Amino acid sequence: MIITIDGKRVEVEEGKTILQVARENGIEIPALCNYIDGNPIGSCGLCVVSIKNGGREYHARACATKVAEGMEIETHTQEVEDARRTILKMLAEEHGEIGGEAKELFLKYGIKIKSDKKREAPNLLNNPFISFNPNACVSCFRCVQACSLIKENHVLVRENRGSNIGIVAGINEALKDAGCAFCGACVDACPTGALMDLTAKEEETKKITSICPYCGVGCAIDYYVSGDEIIYAKGSPNGVNKGDDCIKGRYGWQFVHSEERLKKPLIKKNGKFEEVTWDEALNYVASRLKEIKEKYGADSIAGLSSAKCTNEENYLFQKFMRIVVGTNNVDHCARLCHASTVVGLFKVFGSGAMTNSLEDLEKDAELYFVIGSNTTHAHPVIGTMIKRSVKGRGAKLIVADPRDIELAEYSDIHLRHRPGTDVALINGMMNVIISHGLEDREFIENRTEGYEKLKEIVKKYTPEYVEKITGVPKEDIIKAAVLYAAHRSAIIYAMGITQHTSGTANVASLANLALLTGNVGKRGTGVNPLRGQNNVQGAGDMGALPNVLPSYAKLGTRRAREIEKIWGGKIPDKEGLTIVEMMHAASKGVIKAMYIMGENPAVSDPDQKHVIQALKNLEFLVVQDLFMSETAQLADVILPAASSLEKEGTFTNTERRVQLLHRVLEPVGDAKPDWWIIQEIAKRMGAEWNYESPKDIFEEIRKVVPQYRGITYERIEKMGLQWPCPSMEHPGTKILHEDTFPTPNGLAKFSPYEYKPPAEEPDEEYPFVLTTGRTYEHFHTGTLTRKIDGFNELIPEAFVEIHPEDAEKLGVEEGDCIEVESRRGKIRVKAKIARIKKGVVFIPFHFAESAANVLTIDALDPEAKIPELKVAAVRLKKC
Amino acid sequence: MEEKVRKIIYKHRNDDSKLLAILHDVQNEFGYIPEDAIKTIAKELGMKKGEVYDAASFYSFFKFKPEGKHEVMICDCIVCYIKGSERIIERIEKEFGVKMGETTKDGKFTFKIVEGLGHCEHSPVMMVDGKIYGDLTPDKAVEILRGCE
């Protein structure tokens, strides 16, 4: 199509707006309200242009008018420029405090912003993170569009019309009450400086991009830094998150500046911590560990590595435990989150990682089956992606969760199954698929083995039978199964699946379901575990596990011998202890010393009373952390560590993407990166290690871990690569199992399980089922997020979610104190009447003073040794 | 209340653009649109509460606060003004202890200023619950209002 713009004939694509075409041709038309191309708001009128076409002459908004054949467009006639000046003048007379990018526009048109008018601020002002200046807001509604179209939150809306129009949150409420996610999309959209981050100030900043320290999505965050202080931060457009972020990515960095950061090494002398030099602390740790090793043997020492630390540090930590200390007693918190994923997926697919990528899931999944994942809270950027796909392009959504999680609002079907009945539910869906003839016969024939056994086992799981076990109406089971089988479907799951005594069975059953319908190895499908911590994937890849070495190499094999050659030391063949087993061994006096890096088992692990007793029973405990955590308080030595914003290294995100950290700040006080600390202890115990930087360590990882071989710091400087990446030429792997499975015969293996009830079911004495999890605002044991005032303002304390009818029976109202008691202990928390399955209660586990893990049970999955954090029997009474 | 709102929503289940019809019926039922009704409508229609409020607040017809039992509109157009409407307003404000636009504490009256009730021949005028009263004096206006149940 040919049009003329400012006298220039140009060929343009149909469907574009005049504004788009002008900008593509280097013509700058002023516009305040235009934000998302193709979704004009049309509130400011500044982009008005003059148009001649088919003998007609008229004016129109360039943002909202599509180009048409033969159009002659003039963008800067006297007439339209006068109109623009008039609009700007009117705005300037009404809004005296306009700032931001709009200010430049006023300057360009020579208009002075001058008005004494003071406007009333809406109630949204009442919040800890975002400021709003009504005297700068020109009601362009870019923020409203960002909140609705980009984030699908619909919290910011318009109120009234005409000259009274303005923005409000919800029904003119405080942001928190209106359901604001504090993602800051509105702040990024605002052109007048009306909406701003509260921490932002007029100061010269430099931008440093690094990886968010919180969940496994691995968002790239742009940190704006002045001196040694972060001023504000926002999601980087150049990461997997493509500019998205959440409350933790955007505001969660504030812990790095906390007064409570540990700044000096501490040794407990006569029951009190005293500041010491690094030399004294390191010498003391090395000599005590040596002593204990000599006295009781290497297996009397255990170490906890950390999914919050880098690949390099995890690699070094397990290497230290294995060849310097001489034990395989090394584990990390993945034991508590995705141990069953690794075992379950390995069994079926031959590899224990997320099969697909965020990019193909966002674009191509026709259906999301979200089970045991409160995605919008625990992995918010993926949650937003799902909401956008459902609302924006009509993707289907099945949610299976006993709680009314936010995604349930967006779902086609919500299956509220009883906690711990996942295997029955999934077997039931497979029963329906087979009985309706919806299985993918070609895929089963060519890519799998063991189908007959699966068929036999799921036979008895008829919808009627499964309804009895799960409490889900049989019609919903049938509908969900048919929908899943009939679409290009992606399974997304998290801790609701893995943290059970049947965790491995749950994971394997989901993998069976995907195999049955051929939903593996293709774009928009797969089995996708969402990793909880920033580097759970990497910590596992690096072998911070008691039964496998880096790259999941088995102990005592030829691979182990090859690694020994690179390391120059002997790796013991005997498997080490897992986290929960370590605690049992410590309480029995078998484990005498522990080295804990960046973990807080005193709050995170099940049956807290027992864990604390075990840690107290140790002869020697070293804790390496940013803060005086509940675990650190029990230590003999505390080593102050640098945060991930203060160091270099790599994290591997949930989709197997190895991403490079850039140092944003210098470490606070005398804090040191974990890799440095580990190496200094190792040297003092006789190791000849000479790593000068994380890059040195990564180069060694490339030799030991074949999946990482083709990845270098240079290659991932801007954007990470997804493993397997076996050579320098390899582009990384977006989707696993496209042609073959990494099993001996290349086939996936159906691994069916029978339903087994959870370890502890409700009874007359303890009639409620307790399930635990995260909130949106806080993270894990709160070591980081509870140092941030704004987060504490939003969620100050623990609560127990309870069904309205259960609350009524107990005579409990919103906010009342409730005592929750299990066979292991009791805590007091505030009641929150919520939409949750009757007979089920939920408590977040962030709060040490009312720790949910006082109540939980440490019953283990027999294969993955993951504890059943998601089901415990409890009783409730009003305090 | 939730039950009543749900009934209204159910009544309009087959309408194409049901939101406005529901809002009208809710206002007829309660005299205004309560916050809890907005929440119920949002939930049932698969919308966010803010989206419902955004649409509803576009129309000045919808009220979001409860009003008095009797709606009193006092005309303050130029004709009534010349005939002394300001004195009537002043007197009412003093007598009932409210400002125009507000509701009396006992919830009996909500007073509003309007421009032009279309009965200039009887100005100054006021309208109480849809009925016109003309040729007012401050005393007469108060007397009429005192006579309301």
CATH number at A400 reads 3.40.228.10
Asked if A160's CB is within 8 angstroms of B53's CB, the reply is no
Rounded to the nearest integer, the mean pLDDT of chain B is 89
Confidence at A784, pLDDT banded by 50, 70, 90: confident
Whether A404 maps to a domain, the answer reads yes
Cα separation values, A458 from A123, A367, A635, A754, Å: 55, 23, 50, 8
Q: Do A152 and A173 sit in the same domain of this protein?
A: yes
> Residue type at A165?
I
Of the ranges A42-51, A301-310, A769-778, B71-80, the best mean pLDDT one = A301-310
pLDDT band at A55 (very low <50, low <70, confident <90, very high): confident
Q: Which residues of B touch A158 (CB under 8 A)?
A: 54, 57-58
Q: Is residue A774 part of a domain?
A: yes
Q: Residue A297 has what DSSP assignment?
A: -
Task: Judge whether A777 and A791 are in contact, CB under 8 Å.
Answer: yes
Instruction: Write down which residue in A474, A499, A529 finishes a domain.
Output: A529
**DSSP, res A669:** T
B48, A169: Cβ pair inside 8 Å?
Answer: no
Which positions ≥6 away from A487 have C-beta within 8 Å?
A: A366, A367, A396
Please judge whether B50 and A156 are an interchain contact, meaning their C-beta atoms are less than 8 angstroms apart: yes
Residue A594 has pLDDT above 90, yes or no: yes
Single-letter amino acid code for the residue at A145: Q
CA distance A117 to A252: 36
Residues A512, A375, single domain; the answer is yes
* Number of domains forming the structure of chain A: 5
> A220 in a domain, yes or no?
yes
Last residue of a domain, one of A257, A289, A310: A257
A621 and A580 both lie in a single domain? yes
Write down the domain spans for chain B: 2-57, 70-146
- ipTM value for the complex: 0.78
The answer, yes or no, to whether the previous bond of A867 is cis (omega within 30 of 0) is no
Q: What is the distance between the alpha carbons of residues A830 and A804, in angstroms, rounded to a whole number?
A: 14
Q: Decide if pLDDT at A328 tops 90.
A: yes
Report the CATH number at residue A57. Answer: 3.10.20.740
A743 touches chain B (CB under 8 A): no
Chain A residues with CB-CB distance to B51 below 8 A: 154, 157
Is the per-residue pLDDT at A52 higher than 80? yes
Quick check: is A657 in a domain?
A: no
Closest chain A C-alpha to B26 CA, distance in angstroms: 16
Pairing of strands A548-549, A553-554: antiparallel
Q: pLDDT band at A440, cuts 50/70/90?
A: very high
pLDDT at B88 over 80: yes
Q: In this structure, are A873 and A774 located in the same domain?
A: yes
Whether the per-residue pLDDT at B117 is higher than 90: the answer is no
Chain B positions touching A178 (Cβ under 8 A) are 49-50
Contacts of residue A788, defined as CB under 8 A and 6 or more positions apart, other chains included, come to A251, A252, A254, A255, A258
- Using the predicted structure, report yes or no on whether residue A162 has a pLDDT greater than 80: no
CB contact under 8 A, B53 and A153: no
For residue A758, pLDDT over 90 is answered with yes
Domain identity same for A545 and A689: yes
A159 touches chain B (CB under 8 A): yes
Q: Is A156 on the interface with B (CB under 8 A)?
A: yes
Please tell me the predicted confidence (pLDDT) of residue A413. 97
pLDDT digits (tens, 9 = 90+) for A190-206: 999 999 999 988 788 99
Q: What is the pLDDT of residue A203?
A: 80
For the domain B70-146, what is the CATH superfamily, name and number? Glutaredoxin (3.40.30.10)
Whether A545 and A508 map to the same domain: the answer is no
B49 interaction partners in chain A (CB closer than 8 Å): 170-171, 178
- Asked if A129 and A231 sit in the same domain, the reply is yes
Nearest to A478 by CA among A518, A430, A446: A430
Tell me if A107 is assigned to some domain: no
Domain match, A492 and A401 both = yes
pLDDT (mean) for A778-782: 87
Residue A723 inside a domain? The answer is: no
Same domain, A390 and A517: yes
Enumerate residues 6+ apart whose C-beta is below 8 A from A731: A721, A725
> Which DSSP category does A308 fall into?
T
A498: closest CA among A599, A382, A419, A405? A419
pLDDT (tens digit per residue) in A643-679: 999 999 999 999 999 999 999 999 999 999 999 999 9
- Average pLDDT rounded to a whole number, residues A205-228: 95
The mean pLDDT of chain A is 94
**A343 with A426, same domain?**
yes
Chain A residues with CB-CB distance to B46 below 8 A: 409
Which of A529, A546, A579 is at the close of a domain? A529
Same domain as A172, residue A55: no
Task: Calculate what percentage of chain A has a pLDDT beyond 90.
Answer: 86
Contact predicate A496/A530, CB 8 Å: no
* A487 within 8 A of A517, measured Cβ to Cβ: no
Mapped onto helix, strand or coil, the DSSP state of residue B139 is helix
Query: What's the pLDDT band for B78 if we cut at 50, 70, 90?
Result: confident
CB contact under 8 A, B50 and A169: yes
Cβ(A741)–Cβ(A501) below 8 Å: no
Whether pLDDT at A730 is above 80: yes
Q: Which helix (H) or strand (E) holds A85?
A: helix A78-94
CA A94 to chain centre: 43
Q: Which domain holds residue A454?
A: 339-529
**Residue A674, token pair as written in the block:** 């974990």
For residue A376, give the 3-state DSSP assignment.
helix
| A178 closest CB neighbour out of B47, B50, B58 | B50
Nearest to B51 among A154, A168, A409 (CB): A154
The whole-number pLDDT of residue B1 equals 82
Residue A733 inside a domain? The answer is no
Q: How close is the nearest chain B Cα to the Cα of A343, in Å?
A: 39
What pLDDT score does A705 carry? 96
CATH of the domain at A594: 3.40.50.740
pLDDT-derived band of residue A591, with 50, 70 and 90 as boundaries? very high
Residue A658, helix vs strand vs coil:
strand
Inter-chain contact B57–A160, Cβ cutoff 8 Å?
yes
E strands within A326-436? 330-331, 367-371, 396-400, 413-415
Q: Cβ A155–B48 below 8 Å, yes or no?
A: yes
Element at B18 (helix H, strand E): helix B18-30
Phi, psi of A158, deg, nearest 5? -90, 150
Q: Do A384 and A513 belong together in one domain?
A: yes
